[in-house]
Chains A and B, each alone.
Chain A
Amino acid sequence: ETGVTQTPRHLVMGMTNKKSLKCEQHLGHNAMYWYKQSAKKPLELMFVYSLEERVENNSVPSRFSPECPNSSHLFLHLHTLQPEDSALYLCASSHGTGTEAFFGQGTRLTVV
């Protein structure tokens, strides 16, 4: 059982669709993250929220739009994606800096 839950686990979407990924953490952490894992690449940090404020935006295209309504929930809104955006999207949370981050199971996204 994980303290970070991501839904859906799998998603197939067309390039003109709009979809959202959801992440929920039950650990009382104050920071939440979106990472992207593509084949044969390191995990790429996309966005970081600390106390619901975005503190990091790693040059991510605007077709990815994060939202953090409260410290327990994080969303990634997707629109007009490209096939090369197909990847495993991972959510994580941590309690401040200098502590470990805990990851969810990930959403396997396929853009067709």
Chain B
Amino acid sequence: DQQVKQNSPSLSVQEGRISILNCDYTNSMFDYFLWYKKYPAEGPTFLISISSIKDKNEDGRFTVFLNKSAKHLSLHIVPSQPGDSAVYFCAASPSTSGTYKYIFGTGTRLKVLA
């Protein structure tokens, strides 16, 4: 039973446009959410996170939105650049339960076209 889902396996966006990556979760205990970027043959690199007490967090070109009632989060990249082409993973954690656990989605492959 997958608790974190990324339903779009791939996404293509023109350079300069907005990339929107989506993620859904099922476990109401999750209260901390993260996005990672992964290039081939490398480990995931942390991008941005959000706590459930917020609905938006911004860091440069990256913004994460959280809709707790819908159990949905999204990552917006504006403007998209060719170097953003990678696989993006959404992850969730039940941090206030005291357990050390990050549950990942299957990833979305983003391709930014020059």
Binding site for B on A (CB under 8 A): 2, 4, 6, 31, 33, 35, 40-43, 45, 48, 50, 55-56, 90, 92, 94, 97-98, 100-106, 108
Contact = CB atoms under 8 A, between A and B. Distances in A.
Given A103-B44, A105-B43, A43 B96 contact: no
A33 B102 contact: yes
Nearest to A6: B43
Interface residues of B, number: 29
B106 A45 contact: no
A43 B100 contact: no
B24 to A, nearest CB: 13
Contacts of B49: 100
Contacts of A6: 43
Closest 4 CB pairs of A and B: A98-B95, A103-B43, A97-B95, A43-B104
Contacts of B99: 55-56, 97
A78 to B, nearest CB: 19
Contacts, number: 70
A2 B95 CA distance: 24
B93 A97 contact: yes
A106 B45 CA distance: 12
Given A98-B93, A100-B49, A106-B43, A33 B100 contact: yes
Nearest to A2: B43
B55 to A, nearest CB: 17
A97 B43 contact: no
Nearest to B5: A42
A84 B36 CA distance: 26
A6 B42 CA distance: 11
